[in-house]
Chains A and B, each alone.
Chain A
Amino acid sequence: EPEVTQTPSHQVTQMGQEVILRCVPISNHLYFYWYRQILGQKVEFLVSFYNNEISEKSEIFDDQFSVERPDGSNFTLKIRSTKLEDSAMYFCARQWGSGANVLTFGAGSRLTVL
């Protein structure tokens, strides 16, 4: 299986700025997810995406967050106006089917909000 590639590997931004994190490759036949890990805390679910739609999202995934497939191959997570507490490692993951199938993770994008 092809790897999941995430860009950027590390981004530093000022509070209030917009950030876009990218994940490739994607396909209509897969589930895609964004997870994040704030330093010292557990990995937590943000959102799942299937067939061009959000299928589930957590309470963390508020109006400041959005996911898109801008060009049919990338899967992006956008944070419109970053806050200090958005500093975390953000992981993209894909899955064949759901539930009993494992997730294939990217190496993560570290976001630092100053």
Chain B
Amino acid sequence: ILNVEQSPQSLHVQEGDSTNFTCSFPSSNFYALHWYRWETAKSPEALFVMTLNGDEKKKGRISATLNTKEGYSYLYIKGSQPEDSATYLCAFCCPLVGKLVFGAGTILRVKS
């Protein structure tokens, strides 16, 4: 059974702190890894799609790296703000066409 793990399960930080989460996935038959940001009562929002080993992508204060050989991706948030509070999901793509396998997510709460 293909398994995607995320850690930590939840994280509470102070405004201004930098933080990072981990997504672990199978290193074989890699195609792509997706990161999504999901705020309560809203749609999950795409952050990054990562395809190449060594990829590093950035969107404002958020960045992500990818290591396909060892099967992990890191998501970094620099200078966390209260509006960064959300669940961050990674998803391994795609054992079958169109099928994403999601991790359980990391819940981030940023206190002001």
Contacts and interface: CB of A to CB of B under 8 A. Distances in A.
B46 A99 contact: no
A56 B51 contact: no
A108 B39 CA distance: 12
Please classify how large the interface on chain A is, using the bins under 10, 10 to 19, 20 to 34, 35 or more. 20 to 34
Contacts of B99: 45, 48, 56, 58
Contact of B46 (A35, A56, A102): A102
A99 B93 contact: yes
Interface of A: 3-4, 31, 33, 35, 41-45, 48, 50, 55-56, 58, 91, 95, 98-108
Given A43-B89, A43-B102, A56 B31 contact: no
Interface residues of B, number: 27
Counting chain A CB atoms within 10 Å of each CB, which of B32, B43, B49, B100 scores highest? B43
A49 to B, nearest CB: 9
Interface of B: 4, 31-32, 34, 36, 41-46, 49, 51, 89, 91, 93-94, 96-105
B6 to A, nearest CB: 9
B46 A103 contact: yes
A98 B42 contact: no
Given A107-B42, A107-B43, A101 B100 contact: no
B94 A99 contact: yes
Contacts of B93: 99-100
A41 B101 CA distance: 12
A104 B46 contact: yes
A38 to B, nearest CB: 12
A103 B4 CA distance: 18
B38 to A, nearest CB: 8
A56 B93 CA distance: 14
A4 B43 contact: yes
A48 B97 contact: yes
Counting chain B CB atoms within 10 Å of each CB, which of A43, A56, A104 scores highest? A43
Contacts of B41: 107
Contacts of B104: 41-42
